[in-house]
Copies of this chain bind each other. A is one copy, B any other.
């Protein structure tokens, strides 16, 4: 199994790599190993994302490594666009053994990888990809349901802006028997490139506009937040009007199959509105376990790339 030089997009994960990482994550969950002692990770975040950053940093520290942290790399971006990212990537790659990068522009991670002396891990670039999120999503599905194939997966919400659903779709297309249901307001549909990829990989997909219609059949209901900051105010208001068609609450929770799971990349806002008791006790609520899985799978991935 060949190591990855950089992690730019979820398509780079073969099933072989996925299952290797799942096993490694299970192993690290039981017993931490200091395999990255003396190594330094730089988190270079041009957009704040405390959850993702802390998850990566915790993973690195638990493996015995150290962290250079950048909560807000805007002062870099004051330089001329493109040029600046180019220079920054060269310079920061002199200081660290791996760079975890979050950027507001699609394709930023790829550009950085072209010049960096050390591995770049894409932690989200614009409306592009977020491959380690897809990795933890697949890991969660596997832990929760015991398989990555023959799944009916509904993705619900603002599918136009959500990079997590893009990255996840690419991975689901690698396994047989999966079916994807895209539930979004008509003006925030998933983009064509993902749909074409799924067609090529013989993954059936259909589009819906009302969550209540798909709750009784989905194995995985993958909810995403409306990315207010990436769409127009007008588009946002349209979503508000269709709220009930895009929300899980006490009213429709019982439509969900007993062995299905609700997932969410977090942070969630009001697209999931369930009582604390349900969140804590009903096994169909998987999103907090999903977040925790992020730590262990990122440990596994860092160990795989740098160990």
Which A residues are within 8 Å of any B CB, using their own CB?
32, 38, 40, 42, 48-51, 54-55, 57-58, 61-62, 66, 68-76, 78-80, 83-84, 86-88, 90-92, 94-96, 115, 266-270, 276, 288, 291-292, 295
Contact = CB atoms under 8 A, between A and B. Distances in A.
Contacts of A295: 94-95
A50 B62 contact: no
A50 B69 contact: no
A79 B269 contact: yes
User: 8 nearest interchain CB pairs?
Assistant: A58-B95, A94-B292, A48-B75, A61-B66, A91-B291, A79-B267, A54-B68, A54-B95
Nearest to A74: B48
Given A48-B75, A61-B68, 18 more contacts: A40-B58, A40-B62, A42-B54, A48-B74, A50-B70, A50-B73, A51-B91, A58-B95, A69-B69, A71-B71, A78-B267, A80-B270, A83-B268, A84-B267, A86-B276, A87-B266, A87-B268, A94-B292
B42 A92 contact: no
B61 A40 contact: yes
A50 B92 CA distance: 9
Contacts of A49: 75
Contact of A288 (B32, B91, B268): B91
Q: Give the interface centre of A49, A70, A87, A270 by most chain B CB atoms within 10 Å.
A: A87
A55 B95 contact: yes
Contacts of A58: 40, 42, 68, 95-96
Nearest to A229: B78
B40 A90 contact: no
A16 to B, nearest CB: 28
Nearest to A72: B71
Given A55-B95, A91-B288, A95-B55, A267 B76 contact: yes
Nearest to A280: B115
Nearest to A78: B267
A90 B54 contact: no
Contacts of A50: 70, 73, 75-76
A59 to B, nearest CB: 8
A268 B79 contact: yes
B70 A71 contact: yes
A278 to B, nearest CB: 13
Contacts of A32: 38
A68 B43 CA distance: 12
B267 A87 contact: yes
Contacts of A92: 51, 54
Contacts of A91: 51, 266, 288, 291-292
21 contacts: A40-B58, A40-B61, A42-B58, A48-B74, A49-B75, A50-B70, A51-B92, A54-B92, A57-B68, A58-B68, A58-B96, A61-B68, A70-B71, A71-B72, A76-B267, A79-B267, A80-B270, A84-B267, A87-B266, A87-B288, A94-B291
